[in-house]
Amino acid sequence: MTKQPKIYIAGNRGMVGSAIIRALKEQGQTNIITRSHAELDLTNQTAVRAFFASEKPEQVYLAAAKVGGIHANNTYPAEFIYQNLMIETNIVDAAFNNSIKKLLFLGSSCIYPKLVPQPMREDALLTGTLEPTNEPYAIAKIAGIKLCESYNRQYGESHGVDYRSVMPTNLYGEGDNYHPENSHVIPAMIRRFHEAKVNDSPNVVIWGTGKPCREFLYVDDMAAASVFVMNLDKSIYDKHTQPMLSHINVGVGSDLTIAELARMVSKVVGFNGLIEFDSSKLDGSPRKLMDSTRLNSLGWQAKVNFEVGLTLAYQDFLKSNSKKNDE
């Protein structure tokens, strides 16, 4: 029987980190180590170095990040760039100094320029100006990709370093944040339609025209893709990537309008009132769709049907809502 690798999940309490743990356990992995923020502050270099020196994991999933919506990014830009840069540099540096060969960095679709051609291909990186609202966060995520690439370029041959990056599209599902102010579009919609149903509201008003298109990936699909990319044979990974363009997009390959999304959430939640659109509110980008051709050609495709995923997300919302009400 082959010995299981010791796997460290940074960000295990987050939506993606907890989904990666589920995916690894499904594959029979039991040698998984985690630390809460209270146990290990990832922005503290001394603490991170001590942790890696004592635990010596063989694989690292770097899913830890400071995240938030537009309001949070605009209000705390210094925290977003500083904390994310520190988390990445501390973990990558500690991994290298403890002879860890395998690391997967999880980024975000916000790394791409604001006016990027759709669907967004990997080679669109650094070809234009970023969306100003979350530029500090995006810069930190781009730096994470370049950290991995730079360590590979300098230490790949001499030390066997193999650090990879994946960039997910908009994620939703179990463990999401359903806060009314700073959650993303799907959890915010689930909450609003649920509250409208409970309060017998005649209508729900959606900001904007409902015409912009967005792509959504269920978080367990993202976790499955992460484990898939981590375990790809190096020769196959190298064949489909370049040393300075090595990140891989993770999406479903199709999008839908905000209006279509609203109708689907309404159906899943069981809200029977009217859906109205407030076109006086700005729409944002007309389309955001990842080109996942690179990942598909490696042999991976998303599996979770969107309506099934939304139903699971609504169940998760109800569970987290009842927990809050019990507290």
Q: Which of 8, 61, 112, 137 is catalytic?
A: 137
Crossing angle of helices 185-198 and 306-326, in 10° steps, is 60
> What letters, b where the CB count within 10 A reaches 16 and e where it falls short, cover 270-282?
ebeeebebeeeee
Active-site residue, 137 included: yes
Alpha carbon distances (Å) from 232 to 58, 102, 200: 15, 11, 51
From 173, 150, 119, select the one nearest 319 (Cα to Cα). 173
Q: What angle do CA 153, 157, 163 make, to 5 degrees?
A: 55
Alpha-carbon span 12 to 217, nearest angstrom: 19
Residue 9: how many other CB atoms lie within 10 Å: 24
What is the full DSSP assignment across 222-242?
HHHHHHHHHTS-HHHHHHHSB
From 125, 220, 179, 223, select the one nearest 321 (Cα to Cα). 179
Catalytic residue set: 137
